[in-house]
Amino acid sequence: MPVKCEYHDNFLTAQAAAAGALDREAQPCLFDRFDWIESLHRTSLRHKRPALLHAMRDQAQAWLPLLHIGSGHLSALANWYNFTWAPIFANAQSEVERLSLLRAIAQTAKLHARRLTFAPIPDEYGHASELEATLTAEGWSVFREVCDQNHILNVNGRSFDSYWQSRPGRLKNTVKRKAKAGVVTIRIDTEYSPESWRDYERVYARSWKPEEGSPEFLRQLAERESTVGAMRLGLAYIDSKPVAAQFWTVENGVALIHKLAHDERYMQASPGTLLSAALFQHVIDVDRVTLIDFGTGNDAYKAEWMEEVRERFRLEVFWPNHPANWPHIAIRKWRAYRASKLVREI
């Protein structure tokens, strides 16, 4: 049976075509689910028209959720809330099957765009490499670069106490001293409540963080994940005032750290550090996770808590027969040549 490929510019027809293949039960990764993609677009990216590419053969499916961001230019339907973006598969068990579906999408993409941009793509399981190889084989000019870092902790069966012994002395001493002072009280909610979420928002508003891009998206995510027991909302208080807050989700053995903030007026008490320690202990000893993921960003403080760093990639993809792409291709080839020449000289 040949592969069938479709283009959807709305979520109603896409959801019907997916027939449950993008639901929670079929997709273990939060960022691969229809409710994540649809909610992100509706609350954060609605000014851009969606372009949802879909290939299928029998029960096997592949999806590329994209956006129109310019004339002839499609980009990943993702933003700073995404830890990753990648092709989404359902019931595609083998590499041969996945590549066959991706080839059909690569061919269909030519009908809708002359340029594609994908990020942040992981490559631990070959996502970036498979997509790059498939697009190249279908005649696209593909340029790959590192666009971000991802700090993680593989728990490897350790208890929190065992993990904590390996942390830097400065971090352990801070937690010990500040906890002993007894100034900060901590609560970890596993069910959404409007009151607790308002405390989170109060802390964020007083923190060093920039204005939240889409607070409505985060609130909806917290409510949705709470219904399946996946939300972890950590709150730290001093004199009954919220001074630090962190929003995590826990599912399928993986803890994702989505947001953290603290009120800088109370930095001397280290409420954010104490809250992090409490949440790490909770997800390791209570939730029994195997992996903790600190998302994207190479912030120095993440290295105190995490033990490994993974790269995230951007693919810039051009159809070489379109004259408007020729300057972009030439510039990137020149950069690649210069970079390789510098390496040879070193």
- Name the token pair of 326: 């020729």
Q: Determine the topology of domain 4-149+311-345 in CATH.
A: Aminopeptidase (3.40.630)
pLDDT of residue 210: 81
pLDDT of residue 262: 95
Residues 109, 174: Cα–Cα separation, whole Å = 53
CATH value of 157-289 in 3.30.465.10, 1.10.287.3510, 3.40.630.30, 3.40.50.2000: 3.40.630.30
pLDDT of residue 337: 83
The residues that bridge with 235 in the sheet, in sequence order, are 187, 245
pLDDT of residue 209: 81
- 3-state helix/strand/coil string of the chain: CCCEEEEECCHHHHHHHHCCCCCCCCCCCHHHCHHHHHHHHHHHCCCCCEEEEEEEECCEEEEEEEEEEECCEEEECCCCCCCCCCCEEECCCCHHHHHHHHHHHHHHHCCCCCEEEEEEECCCCCHHHHHHHHHHHCCCEEEEEEEEEEEEEECCCCCHHHHHHCCCHHHHHHHHHHHHHCCCEEEEECCCCHHHHHHHHHHHHCCCCCCCCCHHHHHHHHHHHHCCCCEEEEEEEECCEEEEEEEEEEECCEEEEEEEEECHHHHHHCHHHHHHHHHHHHHHHHCCCCEEEEEECCCCCHHHHCCEEEEEEEEEEECCCCHHHHHHHHHHHHHHHHHHHHHHHC
**What residues of the chain score a pLDDT lower than 70?**
341-346
pLDDT of residue 331: 94
Handedness of CA 275, 276, 278, 282 (dihedral sign): positive
Per-residue pLDDT of 207-220, as tens digits, reads 988 888 899 999 99
CB distance 319 to 136 below 8 Å? no
Characterise 82 by phi-psi region: left (phi > 0), alpha (psi -120 to 50), beta (else).
beta
- Name the token pair of 285: 């000893």
- Whose CA is closest to 160, among 250, 280, 248, 252? 280
Residues 110, 331: Cα–Cα separation, whole Å = 22
Query: Which residues of the chain does CATH 3.40.630.30 include?
Result: 157-289
pLDDT of residue 213: 85
pLDDT of residue 339: 76
Phi, psi of 154 (to 5 degrees): -85, 115
Pairing of strands 231-238, 241-251: antiparallel
The residues that bridge with 312 in the sheet, in sequence order, are 148
pLDDT of residue 5: 96
